[in-house]
Amino acid sequence: MSNIIIKNSRNTKNAPQDTLSTQSVAFSHYNNISAQLPINPVTGALVHGDITAQAQQCLENIAAIIKSIGHVVSHVVKINIFLKDISDMVAVNTVYADFFENDFPTRVVVAVAALPMDGALVQMDALISNGEGTQPQAPCKLIKMARNTENAPQDTLSTQTVAFSHYNNVSAQLPIDPVTGKITTGDIKEQAKQCLKNIKAILESIDVPLDDIVKINVYLKDLADIDAVNEMYTTFFPDSAIARAVAYVPARTVIVASDLPMNALVQMDAVVSHGDGTPPQEVEDRHGIVIKANNTENAPLNALSTQTVAFSHYNHISAQLPINSKTGTLDASNIKEQTEQCLNNIKAIVESINHVMDDIVKVNIQLKDITDLNAVNDIYKTFFNSDLPARTVIGVSAIPMNALIQIDAVVSNAEGTPPQK
């Protein structure tokens, strides 16, 4: 479907360039910006200095990319911050507050085991609004809607939910009781429950049901907690009679964090369909745009996540492990074989909905050993024929099924979802 609405892939010399990713990939009403390391684009070298200097460079790189495509920082809808040390969050926040001033996007902050460049202390990626759309869509002034509710924890440096066009992005929710402002006492089940209650409260505050979530990311301190989290997760999804009738669950990625803010055990963020769009779109559109969930037997099936969930002009693909869909087991032994299996699974999902790999706009890769990245790249580039997607790579301490790699993706969806033709 890539010949209907054109993916707009762009790079600028004013930010670091990478032969294996595009700095900014726009499609429909969003731009996906690749993870930015604290690299000086003039020297191509990592910025020497403390976390403050490195955070400043990451944000300057993002700002340079945004400016190069005719946008401004206030157009950022979501930002992800990956730290080597969670205690650096205080210093990062000081830089961050000056950068965004008062117009804060949704945000995720997580500490990870490793980053792609030795010596890097921080890495950031971003999602920005794209009011002009991509060809052949006509330019349209659309209003970003940033909203908070007292029924969920508030943060002075992030907005709980930011809607633009037909999507809402919800900030990472920690297991904080919004009444006390403190982490919920109790085990991992209670913390997972509080995260989901906070997400549900945010959605209810904007009159959106939980089953309008198309993608959810779960960040765990200990992968051994996943069964307990899943037990609680199934009490929230499916949430409605309609969703239960078709066994709908969102696409999902589980990421192991080295640490989380407030020493939490779990945190979750979400991407939500927003049928009514943002002004000047008609509110009446809301109930006429359909979430399309799809699974194929040619990729691994999971009862707790849908392989791909399409809404409006995007498809969100669940994290793919290097599982052989025929055997249901992890058969590949080395990193190259596992990378190929992950990408073959994504390709099978993409093809099952009549798309091609070059329709992908963003890829997220988690590696058990960051030094495997060169081997991963050798395989990765063989799956794309045209402009490479935006990309984020992080190192993690563990991956489900003891895999070496896990990959998820966002795919352009030119045909849209009904009632669009």
Tell me the CATH number at 7. 3.30.1330.40
Question: Are 188 and 278 contained in the same domain?
Answer: yes
pLDDT in tens, 97-140: 999 988 899 999 999 999 999 999 999 999 998 767 776 666 65
Q: Identify the helix (H) or strand (E) that includes residue 53.
A: helix 51-68
Question: Are 275 and 359 contained in the same domain?
Answer: no
Question: Are 5 and 135 contained in the same domain?
Answer: yes
* Local confidence band at 176 (pLDDT 50, 70, 90 cut-offs): very high
Residue with tokens 């081997």: 375
Q: Which long-range contacts (CB under 8 A, 24 or more apart) does 370-378 make?
A: 370/113, 370/114, 370/115, 370/116, 370/395, 372/335, 372/404, 372/405, 373/116, 375/335, 375/336, 375/339, 376/335, 376/336, 376/339, 376/405, 377/20, 378/336
CA distance linking residue 212 with residue 276, whole number of Å: 12
Question: Are 219 and 339 contained in the same domain?
Answer: no
Q: Report the pLDDT value the prediction gives residue 2, as an integer from 0 to 100.
A: 42
Q: Report the pLDDT value the prediction gives residue 421, as an integer from 0 to 100.
A: 40
Question: Are 186 and 82 contained in the same domain?
Answer: no
Helix-helix angle 226-233:188-205, to 10 degrees? 40
- Tell me, what amino acid is at 187? D
Question: Are 294 and 402 contained in the same domain?
Answer: yes
Edge-first strand listing for the sheet containing 161-164: 145-147, 161-164, 167-173, 266-273, 213-220, 251-256
Tokens read off for 291: 């979430």
Q: Report the pLDDT value the prediction gives residue 275, as an integer from 0 to 100.
A: 72
Residue with tokens 């205690």: 87
C-alpha distances out from residue 99 to 2, 57, 96, 111, Å? 35, 11, 5, 21
Q: Give residue 266's domain range.
A: 140-288
CA distance linking residue 275 with residue 288, whole number of Å: 7
Q: Report the pLDDT value the prediction gives residue 415, as an integer from 0 to 100.
A: 73
pLDDT in tens, 264-319: 999 999 999 887 776 655 543 445 567 899 999 999 999 999 999 988 778 999 99
Question: Are 281 and 294 contained in the same domain?
Answer: no
Q: Report the pLDDT value the prediction gives residue 24, as an integer from 0 to 100.
A: 97
pLDDT at 141 over 70: no
CA distance linking residue 274 with residue 197, whole number of Å: 19
Question: Are 320 and 411 contained in the same domain?
Answer: yes
Tokens read off for 173: 């929710």
Give the residues across from 394 on adjacent strands.
366
Q: How many structural domains does the chain have?
A: 3
Domain stop point among 288, 308, 326: 288
Find the distance separating the first CA and the last CA of the chain, reported in whole Å: 12
Exposure letters 18-54 (e unless 16+ CB within 10 A, then b): bebbbbbbbbbbbbbbbbbbbbebeeeebbeeebeeb
Domain stop point among 233, 268, 288: 288
Instruction: Look at the alpha carbons of 227, 231, 237, 242 in this order and tell me if their dihedral is positive or negative.
Output: positive
Domain stop point among 261, 288, 315: 288
CA distance linking residue 86 with residue 76, whole number of Å: 23
Q: ∠ at Cα 248 (330, 159), nearest 5°?
A: 95
pLDDT at 213 over 50: yes
Compute how many other C-beta atoms are within 10 angstroms of the C-beta atom of residue 234.
Answer: 12
Longest dimension (CA), the chain: 57
Q: Where are the beta strands (DSSP E) in 227-373?
A: 251-256, 266-273, 292-294, 308-311, 314-320, 360-367
CA distance linking residue 238 with residue 240, whole number of Å: 6
Contact 175, 265 (CB under 8 A): yes
Compute how many other C-beta atoms are within 10 angstroms of the C-beta atom of residue 93.
Answer: 16
Q: Report the pLDDT value the prediction gives residue 310, as an integer from 0 to 100.
A: 87
Q: Report the pLDDT value the prediction gives residue 136, as an integer from 0 to 100.
A: 61
Question: Are 303 and 394 contained in the same domain?
Answer: yes
Question: Are 222 and 267 contained in the same domain?
Answer: yes
Q: Which of 26, 42, 33, 13 is nearest to 123 (CA)?
A: 33
Tokens read off for 368: 């058990």
Question: Are 19 and 131 contained in the same domain?
Answer: yes
pLDDT in tens, 43-99: 999 998 899 999 999 999 999 999 999 999 999 999 999 999 999 999 999 999 999
Contact 76, 128 (CB under 8 A): yes
Q: Which of 272, 190, 270, 268 is nearest to 235 (CA)?
A: 190
Question: Are 66 and 34 contained in the same domain?
Answer: yes
